[in-house]
């Protein structure tokens, strides 16, 4: 495998599980959403946000071949929106 392919594989395999875990956390927040619990739920999301920030650093710098560029755009967008949700 070429070096650029290894970087792509590493980027995808580190980002995807963290992204999916954060999305699962959003599901838990949704199930427990109540005005009296907002601060607690925001605190619950912090570790997921921190991990997602960490693994997503440099992901947008990776160069994806044309045949998987759309997949990369979806991962990047989902990560961006997930991080926004953690802040909001």
Give the domain extent around 36: 3-87
Say if residues 9 and 65 touch (Cβ distance below 8 Å): no
Q: What is the pTM of this model?
A: 0.89
Say if residues 24 and 61 touch (Cβ distance below 8 Å): no
Q: How far apart are CA 45 and CA 36, in angstroms?
A: 16
Give the model's confidence band at 60: pLDDT under 50 very low, under 70 low, under 90 confident, else very high: confident
Domain count, the chain: 1
| pLDDT score for 88 | 66
The count of other CB atoms within 10 Å of the CB of residue 68 is 12
pLDDT in tens, 1-51: 458 889 999 999 999 999 999 999 999 999 999 999 999 999 999 999 999
For residue 53, pLDDT beyond 50: yes
Beta strands in the chain (DSSP E): none
Give the model's confidence band at 63: pLDDT under 50 very low, under 70 low, under 90 confident, else very high: very high
């Amino acid at each position: 495998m070429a070096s650029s392919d290894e970087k792509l594989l590493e980027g995808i395999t580190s980002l995807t599980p963290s992204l999916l875990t954060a999305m699962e956390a959003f599901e838990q927040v949704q199930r427990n959403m109540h005005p009296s619990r907002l601060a607690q739920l925001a605190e619950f999301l912090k570790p997921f946000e921190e991990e997602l920030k960490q693994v997503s650093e440099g992901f947008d710098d990776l160069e994806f071949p044309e045949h998987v560029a759309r997949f990369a755009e979806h991962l990047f967008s989902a990560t961006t929106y997930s991080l926004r949700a953690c802040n909001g």
